[in-house]
Amino acid sequence: MTGVFRKLYFFLIGLFLALPMIVVAGVSVNEKQTLAFPPKGFSLSWYGEIFLNPEWRNALFASVTLAVLSAGLAVVIALPLSWFLWRRVAPWANIFQLIGVAPFTLPPVITALGLLTFWATTGFYGQPWTAVISHAIFFVTLPLVTLSLGFTAIDRSLVEAAATMGADDRTIFRTVVLPLILPYIVSGYAFAFVLSLNEYIVAYMTVGFTMETLPIKIFNALRYGYTPTMASVTILFVATAAIIFSLVARFGDLPKLLGAMSSDDK
Amino acid sequence: MRREAPQKIGDYAPLFFPATMLIVFFVVPFATMIAVSFFQRQQAGFYVPAFVLSNYERFISWFFANVLGFSLMLAVVVAICCVVLALPFTYLLTRMQRKVQIVWLVALLSVLSLSEVIIGFAWSTLFSRTAGITNLLVMAGILSEAKALLPSFGAVLTGMVYQAFPYTVLVLYPALVRLDPTLTEAARTLGASPVKAFFTVVVPALRNTITATLIMVFIFALGSYLLPQLLGRPQHWTLSVLITDQAIYQSNMPFAAAMAVFLVLVTLGLVALTVIAGRKGEAA
């Protein structure tokens, strides 16, 4: 009896999570440019539109470039910081960990507005590279969290063995620490990449008037009327996120990354 | 290798780049925003350095009191709905096989990473007259005619619960995974039904986690900047929506900045509460 109840409960939650995507997927295969569900006719042309229509293609290109670069920069900021905090006893340096987590904890509109006033004051407002820095700062939390988790998982006796055998910090980092920390770098990058791809408000407030990322393009399209391309882009985004997170789960330990204990310790 | 305090100045080198980036591109912009909140607004969207309190004085109005009251109320309702829905779900999820857990976690992360634009678009489609859920109800013979379910308070609430639900599960997940399973086993051995064991053992044991989660989801919901605009009427606009509107469409940066500073203070107050709740949890 409780088993049936539990299944029903999980089914309803799953339905709630999936329903908007089912409807959007339905809309995205409409044959004509109509917002209809169940879809009238069947066509995949709205998926082709993302790549064929120059406006959507440019937005896709802008989004992917932004996500690749900003996630990379976020990792480059997070890695030395979490290495330092792991290697050294310097309690005051934890303030930087706190600053790194702040943009993600505060309502996003605050970080966005702060960056908008900053770029406007410094005169760089609207330059594409400002979006890269803005996103890297906004999402630096993700690699910071995965990396500090990864560093605590390193067995210090391994590092000690290398040190006794005469390896210096640089060699230890390259030969011992880096291979152990690599999965956490990759998952930190993956999280930052997916979220940057989807991010709207920071991108809009920093470069919204000079370039269009996909979320900005969707929002602008929403205001000026409707096209099924919005639906096909949405499905593309969900699929991308699901694939990337599945890969993280396949090659890493997803429950552990999300704060559960590793499966092999009690 | 033991952790050791930095010996020479060179040992601080790794800190240089991250610290510079975080200070220049987070601390300085934050300070700039605070400064702008005291600036004087000029015509045509410009503003000049000054020290005026007029941007903050605008808070003392019925309109602003209404927006603030509504934002807080909406965030509270979203937080309660999410925790009520997510707590039993997360508890049961942590008792499932690892493989099943991973599938759900991937799905939750995928929904969580969706931008508000996409969530707003998806729900406005779902609630629309031409492509909405009412069409399915018409096909099933429950409704005689399809109708639009938005803009409405219900639509805003549903959209925001949808957005915050995966977040709630992921906040609850670590605490629930670590929950000692012998607790419920003991209750079950003593004859409690699973439902009774959940309410009399799991919920009280997690009292502090639940409080902390409620506050975190509340802050998360407070940050929602598009859904009230896309799914609701102007009276459903929240502080975050208003800040965006003032900054972008009304070009009143000083007023937007003042509201943002106010929102930070509200948020920080709540974070402090979370920390205190967490401390109490450790002491207990």
pLDDT in tens, B14-29: 889 999 999 999 999 9
pLDDT for A1: 47
pLDDT tens for residues A113-135?
999 989 988 888 888 899 999 99
3-state class percentages of chain A: helix first, strand second, coil last, to nearest 5 = 80, 0, 20
pLDDT digits (tens, 9 = 90+) for A5-48: 888 999 999 999 998 888 888 888 887 777 777 777 788 888 88
Q: What local confidence, expressed as pLDDT, does residue A264 receive?
A: 39
Question: Which residue of chain B is at minimal alpha-carbon distance from A78?
Answer: B18
Q: What mean pLDDT, rounded, does chain A reach?
A: 86
Number of other residues whose CB lies within 10 A of the CB of residue B98: 11
Using an 8 Å CB-CB cutoff, list chain A residues near B148. Answer: none
Residue A62 and residue A212: Cα distance in Å, rounded?
7
Dihedrals φ, ψ of A198, to 5°? -95, -10
Greatest mean pLDDT range, A127-136, B233-242, B248-257, B268-277: A127-136
Band (pLDDT 50/70/90 cuts) for residue A150 is confident
Instruction: Please compute the mean of the pLDDT values over residues B51-67 and round it to a whole number.
Output: 80
Number of domains in chain A: 1
* A13 token code pair: 């939650």
Of A200, A242, A255, which has the smallest distance from its Cβ to B115's Cβ? A200
CATH of the domain at B28: 1.10.3720.10
CA distance A188 to chain B (A): 14
Confidence bin at A266 (pLDDT 50/70/90): very low
Q: Which tokens is B277 given?
A: 């709740």
Would you state the pLDDT for residue A78?
A: 94
Answer yes or no: is pLDDT of B143 > 90: no
Percent of chain A clearing pLDDT 70 (strictly above)? 97
In a domain, B193, yes or no: yes
- Higher pLDDT among residues A135 and B2, named by residue: A135
Q: What domain count does chain B have? A: 1
Residue B3 lies in a domain: no
| Nearest residue of chain B to residue A164 (CA atoms) | B1
Q: Is A64 on the interface with B (CB under 8 A)?
A: no
Query: Domain range for residue A105?
Result: 54-225
Buried b (16+ CB within 10 A) or exposed e, B118-147: bbbbbbbbbbbeebbbbbeeeeeeeeeebe
Report the residue from A6, A24, A114 with minimal CB separation from B30: A114
CATH number at residue A150: 1.10.3720.10
- Is residue A34 one of the residues assigned to a domain? no
Q: Is the peptide bond before B151 cis (omega within 30 degrees of 0)?
A: yes
Pick A96's closest partner by Cβ from B19, B106, B194. Answer: B19
- Name which of A70, A88, A109 to mutate to probe chain B: the one with the most chain B Cβ atoms within 10 A of its Cβ: A109
Residue A58 located in a structural domain? yes
In a domain, B2, yes or no: no
Q: Is residue B4 part of a domain?
A: no
Distance between CA atoms of residues A1 and A103, nearest Å: 46
Which range, of A91-105, A116-130, B34-48, B94-108, averages the lowest pLDDT? B34-48
As given in the structure block, the two tokens for residue A2 are 């409780």
For B152, the domain range is: 9-283
In contact, B222 and B239? CB cutoff 8 Å: yes
Mutate to test the interface with A, among B23, B24, B106 (most CBs of A within 10 A): B106
The beta-carbon contacts of B53-56 under 8 Å, at least 24 apart in sequence, are B55/B254, B55/B255, B55/B257, B55/B258, B56/B258, B56/B262
Q: Does A76 touch chain B (CB under 8 A)?
A: yes
Confidence class of residue A265 from pLDDT cuts 50, 70 and 90? very low
Q: Report the residue from A83, A111, A195 with minimal CB separation from B14.
A: A83
Mapping DSSP to helix (H, G, I), strand (E, B) and coil, where does residue A88 land?
A: strand
